[in-house]
């Protein structure tokens, strides 16, 4: 089955799916992990342990009473050796718990399969699992799965597009844990009373499409749909339009058009959690890039340091010039390999100097490439001008806050304008000066 609508704009990027056929490797337990108190959109957690405390695998080490938040669990058994402030790439300073592992992975006695017979018990279980969106956004899953009663949800869309270059972690989930994917979908359908499910997968992943369709063949309510391989096909609003033809209004959410979108690994995790009771303490991510000796998909303890993960993948073949947490289009550059892996991280990419050099920008030549590439039908070149001049009213008029920061505009710009950076600054201007 083909997608219903073609998304507006978008760009053709090289796939570089070098690790697509590599089975997931399990990394041994590191000597220590560091687990920050913020792995999600929303309120950070407060530590529930202190220095010197003994913890086990699955022990809650951080929680919050805020609605948009999710508990955080220890990914190893051992001793809390330090609680410190960790500076994130976005400039935020967050409490971070360092745990010295005893190497035993002793499971906390509280880790048991939850009893789930009602929607309320299901949502409580999802929250207790610590699940956040594993596609990169990190939105607490129990919040997403609990829309207001006046929002009738007609579609559950499963995002398996994984449209950024290099990343293959979700693809491996569909290959290695396909039954969990379908099982998790059925559970969400049952408790949220959703009639229709569409799994969106780019057409460069035919094996995934066949496997999932074969498993779901007896259930006519679940269909895996082939999407055009174009970036950013996997962005939430793009996926909704491609699969249903519905348009999320500016400032709106998927539930406003009767849709819930879940990442394929997230829904697979729900199935595993309901069977085992083990919260979100491990994850798979892709390690790749020109200077990685052994590109791999690796299953690791959350909180593992980037440096330890890279050592497990054979180390660097040469000095890296840039290390990204995430994909090359939307990932965040890291200032050190002494950074821990978070729940929502799906890739660590390391590049040499030639691949990483940011070209010097020149004057806009008014070619319109950025406008044609923008999936949100914005005018990036105008937003660039208004951001530079700090014109808040014009930034609002040209809908700066609708930008999804996909980077398609910067990718196609012949003048190498730093459009995404300018738009991000523009958003900050609107939030600060615009509220005065």
The pLDDT assigned to 42 comes to 87
Closest CA to 326 of 218, 167, 215: 167
- Concatenating the DSSP letter of every residue in 250-276 gives TT--GGGGTEEEEEHHHHHHHHHHHHH
353-385 pLDDT, tens per residue?
999 988 899 999 999 999 999 999 999 999 999
Q: What is the pLDDT of residues 244-274, one digit of tens each?
A: 999 999 889 999 999 999 999 999 999 999 9
Q: Are 65 and 101 in contact (CB under 8 A)?
A: no
pLDDT beyond 80 at 217: no
Separation between Cα atoms, residue 358 and residue 15, nearest integer Å: 20
- Give 70's contacts (C-beta < 8 A, 6+ positions apart): 39, 40, 42, 45, 127, 130, 131, 132, 140, 141, 142
Q: What is the pLDDT of residue 244?
A: 95
- Write down the pLDDT at residue 90: 66
Q: Count of residues for the chain?
A: 436
Q: Which residue has the higher pLDDT, 35 or 1?
A: 35
DSSP designation for 154 = -
Give me the numbers of helices (H) and strands (E) for the chain, helices first please: 14, 17
Q: Are strands 196-202 and 222-227 parallel, antiparallel or unpaired?
A: parallel
Peptide bond into 122 cis (omega under 30): no
pLDDT in tens, 400-416: 999 999 999 999 999 99
Instruction: Report pLDDT digits (tens) over 126-160.
Output: 999 999 999 877 899 999 999 999 999 999 999 99
**Residue ranges of domains in the chain, CATH in brackets:** 119-276 (3.40.50.11540), 369-435 (no CATH)
Percent of the chain surpassing pLDDT 70? 97
Better-predicted residue by pLDDT, 65 or 40: 65
């Amino acid at each position: 089955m083909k997608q219903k609508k073609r998304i507006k704009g978008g760009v053709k990027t090289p796939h570089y799916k070098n690790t697509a056929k590599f089975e997931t490797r399990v990394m041994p337990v590191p000597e220590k992990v560091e687990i920050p108190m913020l792995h999600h959109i929303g309120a950070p957690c407060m530590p529930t342990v202190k220095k010197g405390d003994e913890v086990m695998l699955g022990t809650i080490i951080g929680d919050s009473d805020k609605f948009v938040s999710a508990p955080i669990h220890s990914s190893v058994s051992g001793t809390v050796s330090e609680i410190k402030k960790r500076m994130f790439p976005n400039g935020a300073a967050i409490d971070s718990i360092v745990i010295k592992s005893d190497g035993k992975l002793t499971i906390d006695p509280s880790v048991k399969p939850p009893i789930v017979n009602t929607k309320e018990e299901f949502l409580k279980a999802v929250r207790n699992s610590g699940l956040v969106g594993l596609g990169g956004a990190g939105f607490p899953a129990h919040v997403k799965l609990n829309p207001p009663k006046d929002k009738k949800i007609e579609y559950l869309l499963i995002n398996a597009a994984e449209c950024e270059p290099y990343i293959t972690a979700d693809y491996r989930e569909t290959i290695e844990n396909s039954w969990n994917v379908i099982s998790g979908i059925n559970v969400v359908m049952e408790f949220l009373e959703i009639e229709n499910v569409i799994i969106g997968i780019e057409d460069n992943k035919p094996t995934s499409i066949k496997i999932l369709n074969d498993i779901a063949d007896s259930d006519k309510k679940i269909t895996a749909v082939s999407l055009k391989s174009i970036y950013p096909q996997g962005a939430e609003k793009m996926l909704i339009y491609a699969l249903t033809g519905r348009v999320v209004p500016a400032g709106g959410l998927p539930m406003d058009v009767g849709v819930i979108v879940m990442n394929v690994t997230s829904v697979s995790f729900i199935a595993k959690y309901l069977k085992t009771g083990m919260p979100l303490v491990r994850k798979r991510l892709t390690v790749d890039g020109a200077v990685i000796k052994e590109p791999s998909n690796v299953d690791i303890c959350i909180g593992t340091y980037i440096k330890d993960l890279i050592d497990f993948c054979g180390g660097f073949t040469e000095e890296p010039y840039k290390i990204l947490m995430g994909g090359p289009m939307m990932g965040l550059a890291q200032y050190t390999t002494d950074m821990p892996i978070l729940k929502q991280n799906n890739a660590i990419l390391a590049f040499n100097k030639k691949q990483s050099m940011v070209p010097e920008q020149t004057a806009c030549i008014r070619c319109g490439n950025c406008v044609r590439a923008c999936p949100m039908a914005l005018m990036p070149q105008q937003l660039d001008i208004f951001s530079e001049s700090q014109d808040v009213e014009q930034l609002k008029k040209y809908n700066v806050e609708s930008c999804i920061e996909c980077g398609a505009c910067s990718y196609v710009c012949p003048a190498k304008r730093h459009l995404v950076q300018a738009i991000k600054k523009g958003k900050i201007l609107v939030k600060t000066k615009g509220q005065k």
